[in-house]
Chain A
Amino acid sequence: MKHTFSQSTEDGLLALSGELLIENSSELKSALCEALASSPRLIVDLGKVTAADISSLQLLCSAHRSASLAGTSFRIDPTGEVIRSIAENAGYSCRTKGCRFAIGICLWDPEAQQARG
């Protein structure tokens, strides 16, 4: 797993690539923590992720929750095929409405993802 964080005028961009697996879960957690702490508007780029599992999906959800609590904007863009299909296989993407732990729509809502392109 690789991660890079960059901050433009408004948005913080956390680009994750490679394998987001349980082996790297601590690393992913710290990357998300740091990125959330550094930017009030965070975009997570998952387009170059090659593998993922439940642990990484959970962490992204968790980050979304923390962001909501802190009033930080948090979104995934692009989701990427790998994450999209794993979220679907794991039953993450059948939300009907946003989860009550985060403001607005769910990270995994397929329609919301589509709307974002």
Chain B
Amino acid sequence: MALCLMIVDDSASMRQMVSFTLKDAGYDVIAASNGKDALTKLDEKKVSMVITDLNMPEMDGIELIRQLRKLPGLKFTPIVMLTTESQDEKKIAGKRAGASGWIVKPFKPAQLVETVRRLIK
């Protein structure tokens, strides 16, 4: 059974691109458009990793990470942040909230897969 990953991003094209890349790498993917959406969808399915953007409406990435770490099923699940070069502070805040790692945008599909493989258990 393929491992299931979640991508959280308010940009549809990003969601599409990440989903496509990860499915190609053999994973199942659920997409959510913001933190709230993600929390709702996670109620329905168990995931092995969450990849999340930081700047999102409704609930941003940092808050989402905080919430996820409170859930018993996601306490130890790898969470990857999608950041940009100019977001070092966000990166630190994300780490503090419990993120496992990050990918700096722009990234190549191969880099994404590499990071996923590095962190997934």
Contact check, B75 vs A53: say whether CB atoms are below 8 A apart: no
Contact check, B121 vs A23: say whether CB atoms are below 8 A apart: no
Chain A, 9-26, contact with B by CB distance < 8 Å: what is the 0/1 string? Answer: 000000000000111000
Q: What chain B residues lie within 8 Å of A22 (beta carbons)? A: 76
Contact residues on A (Cβ < 8 Å of other chain), bracket = under 10
Q: What chain A residues lie within 8 Å of B75 (beta carbons)? A: 23
Q: What chain B residues lie within 8 Å of A53 (beta carbons)? A: 121
Complex alpha-carbon distance, A9 and B82, angstroms: 58
Complex alpha-carbon distance, A21 and B75, angstroms: 12
Centre residue among A21, A22, A23, A53 by max chain B CB count within 10 A: A23
Q: Say how far A80's CB is from chain B's closest CB, in angstroms.
A: 19
Within 8 A of A (CB), among B44-88: 72-73, 75-76
**What residue in chain A is nearest B73 (Cβ atoms)?**
A23
Q: What chain A residues lie within 8 Å of B76 (beta carbons)? A: 21-23
Complex alpha-carbon distance, A23 and B121, angstroms: 12
Complex alpha-carbon distance, A53 and B121, angstroms: 9
**What residue in chain A is nearest B77 (Cβ atoms)?**
A23
Complex alpha-carbon distance, A109 and B87, angstroms: 47
Q: What chain B residues lie within 8 Å of A23 (beta carbons)? A: 72-73, 75-76
**What residue in chain A is nearest B72 (Cβ atoms)?**
A23
Q: Say how far A19's CB is from chain B's closest CB, in angstroms.
A: 10
Using a CB–CB cutoff of 8 Å, the interface residues on chain A facing chain B are 21-23, 53
List, sorted by A's number, 8 A–B pairs whose CB atoms are closer than 8 Å. Answer: A21-B76, A21-B121, A22-B76, A23-B72, A23-B73, A23-B75, A23-B76, A53-B121
Task: Beyond the given A23-B72, A23-B73, A23-B76, please list 5 additional residue pairs across the A-B interface where CB-CB is below 8 A.
Answer: A21-B76, A21-B121, A22-B76, A23-B75, A53-B121
